[in-house]
Amino acid sequence: MEVAYAQLKRYWGFPSFRGVQAEVIQRLVVESENALCIMPTGGGKSLVFQVPALCFDGLTLVISPLIALSKDQVDNLKKRGVPAAALDSSLTTEESSEVRKQLREGTLKILYVAPERLNNEMFVSMISEQKISLLAVDESHCVSEWGPSFRAEYLKVSRFAKEIAAERVLCLTATATPSVITDICDSTNGFDIDREKGVFSTGTFRPNLSISIKPCANFKAKFAVLVPALKSRGDGAAIVYVTTQKQAEEVAQELHDLHGIEARPYHAGLKADDRKTIQYWFIGGNGVVVATIAFGMGIDKANIRMVAHFQLPKTLENYSQEIGRAGRDGLPSLCLMVPSASDMPILESFARANTPSLRSIRTWLDAFFISPLDDDGTISADHYKMSNAFDIGRNTLSLLFTILELQYGLIRATTPFYSTYTIKPLENN
Ligand code: ADP
Ligand code: MG
């Protein structure tokens, strides 16, 4: 472990580790075992593989779906004198043969690739010749069908880890629900991590987020709650999540035309250029984006003052990720949901279309509307009763918050009202 501290000082100049960094690094470097590291965005997950990479003699291979972010990290590492590279399709022939040369000569310490790269036979055979001291899998929740962003390539990543006989595997994520953790740790389809000894979490509690859920009778009522909240959100941007592309257009238009709010729609149906323009507009200013779940991954903006859900989110995991984008600067931010009974049929048709899986929709319905928690704190899908689904009453909401609190450590209920239920940060109680 002394080596790890020495490298932290030498390359980063940081005096100490944060959160669970030291524990995870100890597990990898001293115990030489696989681990899962759960920290919120900005918590410092990168150091958890970058420091060990400098303690091992072989290569650390990093799988990350966000190539742009990987490139930033590589530039940053190079500046600090760490031999790092990212292999992707944008490299020129010279650049990629330079990376291959470094690999052959064994001078490279950290290599970033996107999961799709594992389809490339040349790459796989090149890697098989290397000693892989550590395989780091960023955004590892993508291996889970319970997660909001399941990616089939990630199942391949877990097979690949075995194929190349990686000496250790480190999974990283900000998603901490029990079902996602189970999938990541699974010895067959996941990364074979000891659930008792190998999982490290700083908890995802975010004291600056206030969560407020105000069930509404109809669209008009939703706007009546949403508009004043958007107008008084203070200095910063906002995201309003909706379920369908059409709603993104309609809600953005109504906010803009009828209520004078700088709002623009964002969804996968827009042309790539338009999507980019809106993203830049959002990142650079304080506007409101009305979006489907297509908006978010990789959006790293500090001053999002409000994340609103115009409808019920698709799953609890989605909800947790989406509200997690609020208040990254640590300033007070509002997470407002204005669900109504009319949201249900749309969510149901998503379930039939299998995006997301029926299983996760049921989990959400259960969580929101009925059934108790199982003994182990997970949500059971056995009690699915559509007849109860339209009763957005006090009991069902308090159940939702119990689950959110148990599973995410995010919030604590204060005074329950019949139709308004506001959650205050733990520290203010
Ligand atoms: P994540 O991947 O969890 O979102 P990052 O790895 O990008 O977070 O780290 C976020 C920031 O925290 C970076 O600027 C990083 O330099 C900083 N950081 C991480 N660990 C430490 C530490 N032990 N001491 C000081 N700063 C740290
Ligand atoms: Mg990261």
- Taking only the tens place, the pLDDT of each residue in 50-87 is 999 999 999 999 999 887 778 889 999 999 999 999 99
pLDDT band at 146 (very low <50, low <70, confident <90, very high): low
Q: Is the pLDDT of residue 396 over 60?
A: no
Q: Is the CB of 39 under 6 A from ligand 1?
A: yes
For 100, the token pair is: 């291959």
pLDDT reported for residue 373: 36
Q: What are the DSSP calls for 283-342, one per residue?
A: HHS--EEEE-TTS-TT---TTEEEEEESS--S-HHHHHHHHTTTTTTSS-EEEEE---GG
**In Å, how far are 51, 213, 227, 282, 341 from 310, measured between CA atoms?**
42, 10, 11, 19, 12
- Report the nearest-CA residue for atom 17 of ligand 1: 44
- Ligand nearest the Cα of residue 328 is 1
- Give, as one character, the DSSP assignment of residue 200: E
- Ligand nearest the Cα of residue 202 is 1
Ligand 1 atom with minimal separation from the 15 CA: 24
Q: What is the mean pLDDT of residues 172-178?
A: 79
3-state SS track over 201-212: ECCCCCCCEEEE
Q: Is the CB of 43 under 6 A from ligand 1?
A: yes
Ligand 1 atom with minimal separation from the 40 CA: 3
Question: 67-76, 141-150, 235-244, 340-349: which range is least confident on average?
Answer: 340-349
* pTM of the model as a whole: 0.61
Q: Is the pLDDT of residue 346 over 70?
A: no
Q: How far is the CA of 9 from the centre of ligand 1 (A)?
A: 14
- Report the nearest-CA residue for atom 2 of ligand 1: 45
Average model confidence (pLDDT) across the chain: 79
Which of 5, 9, 11, 12 should be mutated for ligand 1, with most atoms under 8 A from CB?
A: 12
- Each residue of 118-132: pLDDT tens digit? 988 888 988 999 999
Q: CB–CB of 365/241 below 8 Å?
A: no
How far is Cα 347 from Cα 343, in angstroms, rounded to an integer? 7
pLDDT reported for residue 317: 61
pLDDT reported for residue 298: 66
- Ligand nearest the Cα of residue 76 is 1
The length of the chain is 429
Q: Is the pLDDT of residue 365 over 60?
A: no
Question: Can the peptide bond before residue 356 be classed as cis, meaning omega within 30 degrees of 0?
Answer: yes
